Each structure stands twice: as structure tokens, then as C-alpha cells.
């Protein structure tokens, strides 16, 4: 409950325009710990640095809830440019996309624009042997995102597109089971949006138990799992689970956020686990940055110290 109240307080404050203006003016130097610059080239530079330590990358051009169809299509074009640039530099593109940023919920020529643009993006990923993760957003978008995941897997194959489930949502166990016929590649996260208690668990212990349950069930079903957490107790439990159940290290990977627990990322990679860092970049970094701050009180102190030094 305390964790929920803390997250709610931080996200409520961060949503005030005056606070956003201050952080944007003074906080970019601090935000660079979590965001790999504002351009494709800075993002790909971060990828290459991680590759030196045997760590893979998941690139995310920041932006969500974009208001016009034209801007949504332009955003999709920017994602295509990212994949082209990655391929040109010998990097197999692996990207995350929020469907709201490419037009989900906006109908153009009889089809949801988010799906239309997602077809373009996943098609390009398949051309390069890459992968697209459809990021999960706030709870009203879950049904449409999972329905569009089905369409995209049917069109391009599960090797090239997957999605995310959030363990703090009560519905996620049922959602996961309903996807088993697809054998999808899923990233399991705890969830970072400010959600009502009617749909999301307010108690951390319940969220953690749900997280383990989702990971174990998806593994037992023979599906590829992205274990996206920095929680060392969960990581240890997953390691014990895969050993006890004879699950190969090729059947899952650990995913962590760029700039957070770099020591743990390197350690796991050195132990032979597949590790992938989620690398956000772009000018629209404030919303993402706010959610990272809302996750842990220590992150707030890090930001305040950095802004005071600046």
C-alpha cells in the first residue's frame, strides 16, 4: 500500500505542468542516466557500448498518446528510420513500440491506424530478422493491444512480434493463459502506470507473487519469456526455477532498464544468461523519466542531488 501511495504521489506531482517545466529545464543531465540521448545515433552508440559486455538491446523511441494521425504516421516513420539505421550498422533491430504513439484508437481508411503502422514496423523488422515488442500501456488499452498482437503474429510470425503483461493487473493471469495458443514471446513487468485499485493490486507482495506466477506459467507452457525486473530475489527464484525444471537458458532472457543496475546486468551476462537492456531515447523523455522516478524513493534522491549539482 505504501508503494502504491508513493507512486501515486510522485506521478500526480510529475503531472503538473510547472513541475514538468522545471525538470525539463534542469533535469536533462540527470535523465541521461535513464535515457540514451535524443537521436538515433546516440541510441545506437549506447547499443554498441552494451554489446562490449555481452548485453543485447531493446530500443524505444519515446512518445505516447500522440494526438494527430499525421504525427502518428510520422512517428512510425521515425521507428522505421531507426531500424534502417541499426541494420546499416550491423545491429539486428529489436524495438519496443507503444501503439498509442503510432495511432491506436484512430481509424483511417477503415482500419485502426495503430495496427496499420504496426504492420509497417513489424514487416520491416521481419525483413531484417528483427523483433518488435508491443509495449503495454494503461489498462483501457489492454484488450485492443492483445487483439492486435494476434493479428500481427498471424501475419508475420511470433519470431518477429510479441507484447507485455503487467503483473499488477488482476486480469493478467487470464490474459496470459488466453494467449497460449499463439506461444507468444512476452515480456513480464510489474507495471508503472497509475491505475485504480479496482484493476491493479495495491500491495507490493501481491504484485511480486503475481509476477512469479506469470513467469513460471509462461515458461511451463513452453513459451519464450522476457523476465523484466531488477528485483534480485525474483531473479534468484527464476534461476532456481529454470534449473529445477530443466529449462534452457535459450528459453528466456533477463531484461533491465538502461542505466539501472549495470553491475547486475554485467554479472548475469558473464554467467551465461541472455541479458537485454531496454534503451529509451528521444526528445519526449519526460513521461518515461517520471515513471522511473515513481518506482523507487532512491530515484527521487538521485534526481534531486543531480539537479542541485547542476
pLDDT at 310: 39
CA distance 108 to 113: 6
CA distance 83 to 71: 19
Strand pairing of 107-108 and 111-112? antiparallel
227 Ramachandran zone, left/alpha/beta (phi>0; psi -120 to 50): beta
Q: Which residues contact 181 (CB under 8 A, 6 or more apart)?
A: none
pLDDT at 284: 79
Please write the tens of the pLDDT for every residue from 256-278: 989 888 999 999 999 999 999 99
CATH 3.40.50.740 fits 35-284, yes or no: no
Strands (E), the chain: 56-61, 94-98, 107-108, 111-112, 131-135, 161-166, 186-189, 225-228, 252-257, 275-281
pLDDT at 10: 42
CA 70, distance to chain mean position in Å, is 24
pLDDT at 291: 62
Percent of the chain topping pLDDT 70: 81
Distances (CA, A) of 287 to 16, 64, 100: 11, 9, 14
| Residues marked as catalytic | 135, 187
Q: Which residues contact 124 (CB under 8 A, 6 or more apart)?
A: 80, 83, 84, 93, 130
Q: Where are the domains of the chain?
A: 35-284
pLDDT at 227: 98
pLDDT at 215: 98
pLDDT at 283: 82
All residue ranges of the chain with pLDDT < 50 are 2, 6, 9-14, 18-23, 25-26, 300-310
Beta carbons of 239 and 14 less than 8 angstroms apart: no
Amino acid at each position: 500500500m505504501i508503494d502504491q501511495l508513493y507512486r501515486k504521489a510522485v506521478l500526480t506531482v510529475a503531472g503538473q505542468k510547472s513541475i514538468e517545466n522545471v525538470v525539463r529545464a534542469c533535469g536533462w543531465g540527470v535523465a541521461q542516466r535513464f535515457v540514451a540521448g535524443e537521436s538515433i545515433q546516440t541510441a545506437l552508440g549506447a547499443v554498441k557500448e552494451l554489446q562490449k559486455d555481452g548485453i543485447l538491446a531493446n530500443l524505444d523511441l519515446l512518445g505516447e498518446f500522440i494526438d494527430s494521425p499525421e504525427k502518428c504516421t510520422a512517428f512510425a516513420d521515425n521507428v522505421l528510420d531507426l531500424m534502417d539505421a541499426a541494420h546499416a550498422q550491423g545491429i539486428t533491430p529489436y524495438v519496443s513500440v507503444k501503439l498509442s504513439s503510432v495511432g491506436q484508437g484512430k481509424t483511417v481508411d477503415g482500419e485502426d491506424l495503430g495496427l496499420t503502422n504496426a504492420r509497417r514496423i513489424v514487416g520491416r523488422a521481419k525483413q531484417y530478422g528483427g523483433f518488435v515488442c508491443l509495449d503495454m500501456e494503461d489498462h483501457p488499452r489492454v484488450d485492443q493491444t492483445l487483439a492486435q498482437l494476434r493479428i500481427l503474429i498471424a501475419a508475420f510470425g511470433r519470431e518477429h512480434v510479441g507484447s507485455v503483461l503487467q503483473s499488477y493487473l488482476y486480469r493478467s493471469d487470464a490474459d496470459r493463459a488466453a494467449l497460449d495458443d499463439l506461444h507468444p514471446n512476452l515480456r513480464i513487468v510489474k507495471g508503472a502506470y497509475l491505475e485504480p485499485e479496482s484493476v491493479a493490486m495495491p500491495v507490493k507482495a501481491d504484485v511480486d507473487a503475481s509476477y512469479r506466477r506469470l513467469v513460471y506459467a509462461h515458461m511451463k507452457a513452453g513459451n519464450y519469456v522476457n523476465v523484466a525486473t531488477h528485483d534480485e530475489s525474483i531473479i534468484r527464484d527464476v534461476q532456481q526455477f529454470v534449473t529445477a525444471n530443466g529449462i534452457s537458458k535459450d528459453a528466456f532472457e533477463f531484461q533491465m532498464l538502461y542505466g539501472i543496475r549495470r553491475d547486475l546486468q554485467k554479472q548475469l551476462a558473464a554467467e551465461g544468461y541472455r541479458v537485454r537492456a531496454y534503451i529509451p531515447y528521444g526528445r519526449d523523455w519526460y513521461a518515461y523519466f517520471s515513471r522511473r522516478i515513481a518506482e523507487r524513493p532512491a530515484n527521487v534522491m538521485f534526481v534531486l542531488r543531480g539537479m542541485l549539482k547542476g
